[in-house]
Amino acid sequence: MTQSIVVQVGQCGNQVGCRFWDLALREHAHVNKKGIYDEALSSFFRNVDTRTSAGEGIRGGKISSLKARAVLIDMEEGVVNEILQGPLREVFDSKQLITDVSGSGNNWAVGHKVYGCTYREQIVENLRKAAEHCDCLQCFFVIHSMGGGTGSGLGTFVLNLLEDEFPEVYRIVTSVYPSAEDDVITSPYNSVLAMRELTEHADCVLPIENQSLVDIVNKIKQMAYSGKPGAVIKQDSTIISGRGGVSSLEKPFDAMNNIVANLLLNLTSSARFEGSLNMDLNEIAMNLVPFPRLHYLVPSLTPLYTLADVNIPSRRLDQMFTDAFSRDHQLIHADPKHSLYLACALMVRGNVQVSDLRRNIERLKPSLQFVSWNQEGWKTGLCSVPPVGHSHSLLALANNTCIKPTLVELKDRFMRLYRKKAHLHHYLNVDGMEQACFTEAVSSLTSLIGEYEQLDATKGLLAAEAPRLNIAV
Amino acid sequence: MSVVTVQLGQCGNQIGQELFKAIGDDSSSGQGLCSEGQKQAYAACSQERFFFLEQSGVPSARAVLIDMEPKVISQTMATAAKSGRWKYGDQSYFCQKQGSGNNWANGFCAHGPRHEEAVLDLVRREAERCERLAGFFTMMSVAGGTGSGMGTYITQCLRDTYPHSFLLNQVTWPYSTGEVIVQNYNSVLTLSHLYQSSDAILVHENDTVHKICSQLMNIKHISFQDVNKVIAHQLGSVLQPAYTSAVDTQYSRNPLGDLMSSLVCHPEYKLLSLRNIPQMSDSSLEYSVFAWPGLLKHLRQMLIANAKMEEGIDWQVRASQSRPSTGQKGNPSKHLRFNTSLANLLILRGRDVYSADTGGFAEPLLYSSWLPAEVAFNTWRSPKHFNRYEKSATLVSNSQSLLKPLDSIVGKAWNMFASRAYVHQYTKFGISEEDFLDSFTTLEQVISSYTHL
């Protein structure tokens, strides 16, 4: 069994990360009733005997004290301190934390260049230590936001470090993109500067938009309080349910962060539990990334909740597949149905058979457009353990040109500021930051948009079959 | 003689486990054999082939289990041990912690060479436990990374280490839609390499078996286990003891060798496909009665009309001299309604096998012009009922029937290759575009050869 390490950077990264740990504990507690430290737990947790304060617990033995395989980085103390005082304090120890007091001032350059330089050694040290506790480290999950200074700047700096120090280990990045009316005025700068790093150094990026999370939360709340008969939602089944393994109080943003945490839980489920069709983490990039730079995978999660009265489960199962392709369930504002698929992964959990998968793929295929050379671009995984409160669930990851509008909008917002050179001096004052960083970042984004555009233009065209090799008879 | 089975990857290990279970179950019932002595002889022959009797008295499969991640292997070994009737050797597995990630190149270029020694040690130990070694039987899928990449590499190693042993590769072809996106690349690389090192490649298509499960077995929610069981049943019906000629009183000595000598007479043609009849759910089986003429008539039409199961056979197709017309390249299916065979092996099991008339399979029209029908057609028989079936017939063919799916795999992979999509994932491990081209050339050659049969 392989292990993964979560690197959570900045306020958003740490808040999402904590929801992940909380829900992961809930999930394992639900499956693992005997309190045995098993292979599944070992993928994200260490078992430490606190009395001797040393040594990795033996698999198959009793759980004594679980420690998250995580590195927490923030350049303010607020969020991390809150964690240390909160119910999750037990799963982290102080050696896993890197904090500063003054913050990055919403400035990518401060996070990337200043704090990057200052904390480089310490970060590498912490990463190494976390890696040493793994016997087969497969994947780093970086969680950060794109709009602020620490998450985007230092987060992408950490990404570069990971590539240098652990070139063999996969880097899957969960990036939260700011809303259009974000209150951070420099967020377009930060996002575009970070984009270039993501495009060049990540194996996969799962883009998530704040606004989409807000919309989904509102929708679930509406359903929950609509009072319609028959629309009673099972409490622990909504993906915004905050009842975690250890915490019970809900904080603002928890509902939104829970969605992202659930995304990560589903993404890693096949690596943690068994199933009839395993989908390992290293298969994600292999199947979904046809060209190295085009590694942005649009996620969607279904079902968002389960109705309390159980009827016609098979129809609901099919509905789950249908929903995964609807605009409402995407975690960014995008419409994959009207864009071009390069590849698509379906990661199913729960009591679902391969025939259910096949039936739904056949059913949905006519309404989806796939690039000519990948007409059967489906990657599927079946994990037998469903999420807590659900009988089944689906995470779809789409490498789809529908990401383009998001990128174009990001670029437009960037250009609006950049044309006026607004706030530019804040960045250029930082050591090591030059105007070239901006021009290179924007041209990287432009060419990324261009690559998606080119592929999107082939949509609907019946591509001629490539002439086959001729064999002389 | 004994066969050493090598199970590779998730697919190979799961099918392997079902195969040993089917073989064990079949050998333990002597239905159809009259004397106690005959029953014992059958069981003993099957045992010698596939199991090693440990001191504890529990038969241990002559198998080596290989995977790059531990989950499937531990599951497989546990399931076998739980049966109480047989098990895998405690030490006869090799696994690592991290899978090959669906990347053939990772299995072939990285994992293969790195673990060659450990794997070959296990195989050698298993081979040394055989009094007489018939050869190796490897099982793997062509879609994934470990089975296909590592399997290909290990097959090459076996060929080098045991140059005089028979090597039969059972490969499972993926669903034509959606298991692994790069499955066509992986398939092309696997098949082209196996074509150099293996003696024969026995193919199961998931699509076909899936249809058998839904239409013949009447299974509503088909799981991989159902699919694997059908494959195991088909394989068992070939590999279990049988008499290779009408006057024999001795079971075939070397099942692999006899299979090859019946079917693979030319190195350019080594793709084998399997058909069996009848195949049905347990509940229908109870109420069904079969007669040899009906079974064989169906089976013959399945062969010439290239149907993989007894439902939906095109009865219009007649055996005729094939005319390979020109300009049909790229889509041979359109023109080839009649499925020409190079060689066929018919295996009959059950009641009254000696009364069955197999003349329909011996017609020269069924075969290529350059191999006489007496050579091209062979029959094995065994009076023992096979796995609850009172009568059953299995046909292993070296024919054009895999042409269409092979052509489709190569075509899809070639289309993808034209845009160079995913190629960077392979070059990372040292497989160059040239290597891809070589593989395409090899398979186009195979397609061409079969087309012009």
**Can you give the CATH number for the domain in which B15 is found?**
3.40.50.1440
A18 CB within 8 Å of a chain B CB: no
Instruction: Select from B266, B299, B330 the last residue of a domain.
Output: B266
B252 and B388 fall within a common domain: no
- The pLDDT value recorded for residue A181 is 80
Contact A274, B76 (CB under 8 A): no
Range of the domain at B430: 404-452
Chain A, residues 116-155, CB within 8 A of chain B, namely 135-136, 138
- The pLDDT value recorded for residue B377 is 95
* Regions in chain B scoring below 70 on pLDDT: 178, 246-248, 321-336
In a domain, B434, yes or no: yes
Structure tokens at A472: 């002389």
B180 and B308 fall within a common domain: no
- Measured CA to CA in angstroms, residue B113 lies from B9, B67, B186, B199, B435 at distances of 16, 14, 18, 22, 18
Q: Which chain B residues are closer than 8 Å to A471 by Cβ?
A: 441, 444-445, 447-448
Cα-only R_g, chain A:
22
- The pLDDT value recorded for residue B326 is 45
Give the count of domains, chain B.
3
- Neighbouring CB atoms inside 10 A of B118's CB total 12
B391 and B413 fall within a common domain: no
- The pLDDT value recorded for residue A211 is 92
Global pTM reads: 0.90
Each domain of chain A, given as residue ranges in start order, spans 3-404, 405-458
Q: Which chain A residues are closer than 8 Å to B189 by Cβ?
A: none
CATH number of A3-404: 3.40.50.1440
A307: β partners: A233
Task: Render B281-298 in DSSP notation, one character per residue.
Answer: -HHHHHT----HHHHHHH
- The pLDDT value recorded for residue A250 is 63
A370 CB within 8 Å of a chain B CB: no
Report the b/e string of B269-281 with b at 16+ CB within 10 A: bbbbbbbbbbbbe
Q: Is A265 helix (H, G, I), strand (E, B) or coil?
A: helix
The per-residue pLDDT for range B211-244, each reduced to its tens digit, is: 999 999 999 888 889 999 999 999 999 999 999 8
- The pLDDT value recorded for residue B329 is 46
B6 and B74 fall within a common domain: yes
Q: Which of B10, B70, B421 sits opposite A290 (nearest CB)?
A: B421
A405-458 under CATH 1.10.3720, yes or no: no
* Regions in chain A scoring below 50 on pLDDT: 312
B145 and B254 fall within a common domain: yes
Instruction: Select from B356, B384, B399 the last residue of a domain.
Output: B399
**B418/A286 Cβ within 8 A:** no
What is the C-alpha to C-alpha distance for residues A316 and A236, in angstroms, rounded to an integer? 18
- The residue in chain A having the minimum alpha-carbon distance to the alpha carbon of residue B449 is A473
Q: Which chain A residues are closer than 8 Å to B410 by Cβ?
A: 468
Q: Which chain B residues are closer than 8 Å to A291 by Cβ?
A: 421, 424
The per-residue pLDDT for range A11-52, each reduced to its tens digit, is: 999 999 999 999 999 999 988 888 899 888 999 999 987 665
B23 and B74 fall within a common domain: yes
Q: Is B276 helix (H, G, I), strand (E, B) or coil?
A: strand
- Neighbouring CB atoms inside 10 A of A49's CB total 14
What is the C-alpha to C-alpha distance for residues A208 and A145, in angstroms, rounded to an integer? 9
